[in-house]
Structure 1
Amino acid sequence: MKMLRKTLSVAVITMSTFAPILSVTAVAAPIAASEQQATQSLVKQLTGLHSFTANFEQSTKATGKVVSQKKGLTAQHLNQTFTGTIKVERPGKFFWETTQPSKQTIVTSGKTIWIYDPDLQQVVRQSMSDQVANTPALLLSGNTNSIMQAYKVTQPDQTKTYYTLTPKAKDTAFQDLTISFGAQGAPALMILNDSLGQVTTVRFNHVAKNVSIPASVFNFVPPKGTDIIDQ
């Protein structure tokens, strides 16, 4: 019997003031934004992000406690780096493909999520429920209002465009997600802390913001002979 692999989750991030008096360097403590300010700032970032494409590099580490309890991840798995490409068109369209060290594709056009594993010739088909839509891998393509309703937003430094999102619900798979935006206004880095104590870091490079993406990218058709598993 073919075994289904677990889906890779996806899917952050410093300030000194130099005082030339007596050669002393003074470090100014960052001023955090209020929750309302942080939320408004994040909404502004997302509103200006209609689409983007990028390459990504993802790695996962765990605390010593997690490793000692053997919660499903070996040291070898934790030390692996996954690379691939991401394409997003808001709202609702998402393409995530891991190319190394193994291939896996996650695609949605807003209604159904396809998780395709070519090595196993299997694809998992899921309905785009609210719970699935609010998972870290799909946050970047989500509806802004839905994201604000599902997460508490903090901004540790009101002069920096990085934010921490904490789920308001208690039964989520992760504790918080920090996202940093680069100079272009597109995501540059994401850090996810999950409920098992694992920390997943995703770095984006070769980012292109608000580019045209063919609709066919988000329309997945299972290759002939692929087993379809409904969840």
Structure 2
Amino acid sequence: MNFRFRRFLATTTLAVACAAAGSAWAGARDDLKTFTSGLKGLDGQFSQQVFDGRGKVKESTSGRVALSAPRLFRWEYVRPHEQLIVADGRKVWMYEPDLEQATVREQGKEEQNSPLTALINPALLEQQYDVSEEAAQRDGLQWLSLSPKRETEASFQYAALGFNAQGLARMEITDAVGQRTVISFSGWKRNPGFAAGTFSFTPPKGTDVIGN
């Protein structure tokens, strides 16, 4: 599976699953509960850096993220190169306009070992992850840490969610080879009215489609 595609799944599904389970958890847990109270959808911007195991920046990107519980996502990379990932409730599409190529997968298969299962039953989140609150602030944020209880089934080894007065401000994910992804969020709009087509994708004419 494409590396960026795997990272998208770990990031986006974790964010929405935590939102669904917010009432189950106090500091950062209170922040999470406040942020997710009555939450059905989010729209905002992100900037993302990927660091290798030695701490060197491998990739810097930015774009827009839109989430609608329980199964709809739009993760749109704008800089430095355009790329679009859309989950429409049945399928997950990744479109690379520069290559005129789209990859499509059944959404259910991607969700089997992801925190998205917590959207059906929020109690599953704490069944799947060890959740703890970091004692001290870091970078002016309150943090929750998540570690998969069954590492072989997870797409990451460790994740941390950082909150400020505006809500979820940062997410950090470390994978099995020590690579770390840091995503900063801004401009959150809660329960917005999404434009038609936000969570759907039709390949442009001439696009090479891989998968079904």
TM range (shorter): 0.7 to 0.9
Q: CA 1:98/1:107 → structure 2, altered by over 3 Å: closer, same or farther?
A: same
Distance 1:225 1:80 in 2: 29
Please list, as runs of the form range in 1=range in 2, the aligned pairs for 1:154-165 lying within 5 A after superposition: 154-157=132-135, 161-165=142-146
Distance 1:84 1:133 in 2: 27
Please list, as runs of the form range in 1=range in 2, the aligned pairs for 1:1-231 lying within 5 A after superposition: 6-8=3-5, 9-10=7-8, 11=11, 37=25, 41=30, 42=32, 45-64=35-54, 78-129=57-108, 131-132=110-111, 135=114, 142-143=119-120, 144-157=122-135, 161-171=142-152, 172-185=154-167, 187-230=168-211
Deviation at 1:201, TM superposition (A): 0.3
Distance 1:92 1:192 in 2: 21
Does the aligned pair in 2 maintain the 1:97–1:103 contact within 8 Å? yes
Distance 1:80 1:162 in 2: 24
Report the 3-state secondary structure (helix = DSSP H, G, I; strand = E; otherwise coil) of the residue aligned with 1:91: coil
Distance 2:42 2:174 in 1: 24
Does the aligned pair in 1 maintain the 2:29–2:144 contact within 8 Å? no
Query: Which of 1 and 2 has greater Rg?
Result: 1
Distance 1:222 1:214 in 2: 18
Q: Supply the AA of the counterpart residue of 1:57.
A: S
Deviation at 1:89, TM superposition (A): 1.1
Alpha-carbon RMSD across the aligned residues, in angstroms, is 3.2
Distance 1:89 1:156 in 2: 28
Does the aligned pair in 2 maintain the 1:134–1:147 contact within 8 Å? no
Distance 1:212 1:223 in 2: 25
Does the aligned pair in 1 maintain the 2:100–2:207 contact within 8 Å? yes
Identity of aligned residues (%): 29
- For 1:91-149, what per-residue CA distance to the aligned partner results, in whole angstroms no more than 9, with x for missing partners? 1111001011111111012221111111111111111236536558x79x955344344
Gaps of 5+ in 2: 12-23
Deviation at 1:40, TM superposition (A): 7.0
Deviation at 1:220, TM superposition (A): 1.0
Deviation at 1:174, TM superposition (A): 1.0
Does the aligned pair in 1 maintain the 2:25–2:33 contact within 8 Å? no
Does the aligned pair in 1 maintain the 2:43–2:65 contact within 8 Å? yes
Does the aligned pair in 1 maintain the 2:160–2:172 contact within 8 Å? yes
Distance 1:40 1:206 in 2: 21
Gaps of 5+ in 1: 12-35, 68-74
What count of residue pairs does the alignment treat as equivalent? Answer: 190
Normalised by the size of structure 1, how large is the TM-score? Answer: 0.69
Does the aligned pair in 1 maintain the 2:104–2:210 contact within 8 Å? yes
- For 1:42-61, what per-residue CA distance to the aligned partner results, in whole angstroms no more than 9, with x for missing partners? 56643432211111110011
User: Of Structure 1 and Structure 2, which has the larger fraction of its residues in helix?
Assistant: 2
Report the 3-state secondary structure (helix = DSSP H, G, I; strand = E; otherwise coil) of the residue aligned with 1:218: coil
